[in-house]
A = this chain, B = another copy of it.
């Protein structure tokens, strides 16, 4: 089941305009309260869109950066401009490695070319990366569906817990963690999703919005409720996405993921991570020690966005004025808590050997 607009027409989360002078995105800072499309015509607008989380989700961040580079190529095409644009985009967010992977691929593709042809090739390569992301996510859905079929059957309704948003909004289409859920729903499996709201940015509410668009039954919970639900047998499996997977299988993902993994393990329940291979950082051997954790602004914790009684979208302050906040955006789940990695090639064990066996052509790369 692919992404759709509020009017039910198919969409992607990012698309180039026909005359190659801009891309359009769905403004994810407006969701779930409003569906708004933003046009990005300049490198700086793309960098801002990534920093401010107008686009978010590791795969979509990567693809958005490639289009940003294509936009930069229109304006200046010498080597210095190319490398400066890569640096600008790479600096937007530190944890999701798809960003670095996509920019490195674009640089490898463009730098050997004559400056005069770079713009055209950049748009082609960005589109190729976007198409690959769609296909990878589709395959993740296909492989994940097999897992869900085997998890299903213990009770009438399959109960999945997820965290953050790893649906089509986090990718170009289909999603990572939600791709198997959509595939199961399409296959007629009675599936219900427990959606962790994912403070502080409440990306779980993007998941709720996505699932509501498609009619997939779901229920929002406070992040704190995950342990109880797992302990009392309300959940069959946890599936989350990832921002970066170390070569040893450690998983950097949205803050709070680690707590769910601990609770799943403590209760003998499967904890799956769904990811396209560009999320694997083959150069990081130990995720816990080496993956940089983005620290975002305190105002994401001290303030919450919602609709006031008149329906206006407002930011309200929830903390006392005298109180400060810290806001680490990701945590690292050790590989030994992960039941399996759902990739476009199939289910890999979360270990150095498991990843190397699934991606022998990539390991060390």
Chain A contact residues, CB within 8 Å of chain B: 32, 195, 197-200, 202, 205, 208-209, 212, 218-229, 231, 254-256, 258-259, 262-263, 266, 288, 293, 301-309, 314-320, 322-328, 330-332
Contact = CB atoms under 8 A, between A and B. Distances in A.
B228 A200 contact: no
28 contacts: A32-B319, A32-B320, A199-B199, A199-B222, A199-B224, A200-B222, A205-B323, A218-B323, A219-B324, A219-B325, A220-B324, A222-B255, A222-B256, A223-B223, A224-B254, A224-B331, A225-B327, A228-B258, A228-B293, A228-B332, A259-B263, A262-B263, A303-B306, A304-B304, A304-B316, A308-B308, A308-B316, A309-B314
B308 A314 contact: yes
Query: Nearest 8 A-B pairs (CB), nearest first?
Result: A224-B256, A306-B316, A228-B331, A227-B258, A199-B222, A306-B318, A208-B323, A262-B262
A317 B325 contact: no
B314 A220 contact: no
A221 B328 CA distance: 9
Copies in the complex: 2
A198 B226 CA distance: 13
Contacts of A195: 323
Given A262-B263, A316-B304, A199 B218 contact: no
**Which secondary structure dominates where chain A touches chain B?**
mixed
Most chain-B Cβ atoms within 10 A of its Cβ — which of A225, A288, A328? A225
Contacts of A306: 303-304, 316-318
Contact of A225 (B212, B226, B255): B255
Contact of A220 (B220, B266, B301): B301
Contacts of A305: 316, 318
A328 B231 contact: no
A130 to B, nearest CB: 27
A223 B227 CA distance: 12
B225 A326 contact: yes
Nearest to A330: B228
Given A199-B223, A222-B223, A262-B262, 18 more contacts: A195-B323, A197-B318, A199-B222, A209-B323, A219-B326, A221-B301, A224-B259, A225-B331, A227-B256, A227-B258, A227-B259, A228-B293, A259-B259, A262-B266, A303-B306, A305-B316, A307-B316, A314-B316
A340 B285 CA distance: 37
A323 B220 contact: yes
A214 to B, nearest CB: 11
Given A228-B258, A255-B228, A308-B316, A301 B222 contact: yes
Nearest to A315: B309
Nearest to A258: B227
Contact of A224 (B223, B228, B304): B223
Contacts of A262: 227, 259, 262-263, 266
A326 B32 CA distance: 19
B304 A318 contact: yes
Given A308-B308, A316-B306, A332 B231 contact: yes
Nearest to A210: B320
Contacts of A304: 304, 306, 316, 318
Contacts of A200: 222, 224
Contacts of A225: 255-256, 326-328, 331
Contact of A205 (B259, B319, B327): B319
